[in-house]
Amino acid sequence: MESQKNKIQFVTVTAMFIALTYVFTAFVNVRLPIAANGGLIHLGNVPLFIAAMIFGKKTGMLAGGIGMGLFDLTSGWTVWAPFTLVIVGIMGYVMGAMTEKHPGFGWKIAAMIVVTVIKVVGYYIAEIILYGNFIAPLSSVPGNLVQMGTAIVVVLIIIRPIEVAVNRMGIHQFA
The C-alpha angle 53, 124, 65, rounded to 5 degrees, equals: 35
- Closest Cα partner for 48 from 96, 5, 80? 96
Q: Which residues touch 75 (CB under 8 Å, ≥6 apart)?
A: 26
Q: What gap in Å lies between CA 153 and CA 68, rounded to an integer?
A: 20
How confident is residue 5, by pLDDT bands cut at 50, 70 and 90?
Answer: confident
More confident residue, 30 or 94: 94
CA distances from 161 to 68, 101, 111, 165, 166 (A): 25, 20, 19, 6, 9
pTM: 0.93
Q: Higher confidence at residue 154 or residue 136?
A: 154
30 phi-psi bin (left φ>0, alpha ψ -120 to 50, beta other):
beta
pLDDT, one tens digit per residue, over 66-92 is 999 999 999 999 999 999 999 999 999
How far is the C-alpha of 56 from the C-alpha of 54, rounded, in Å?
6
Distance of alpha carbon 85 from alpha carbon 83, whole angstroms: 5
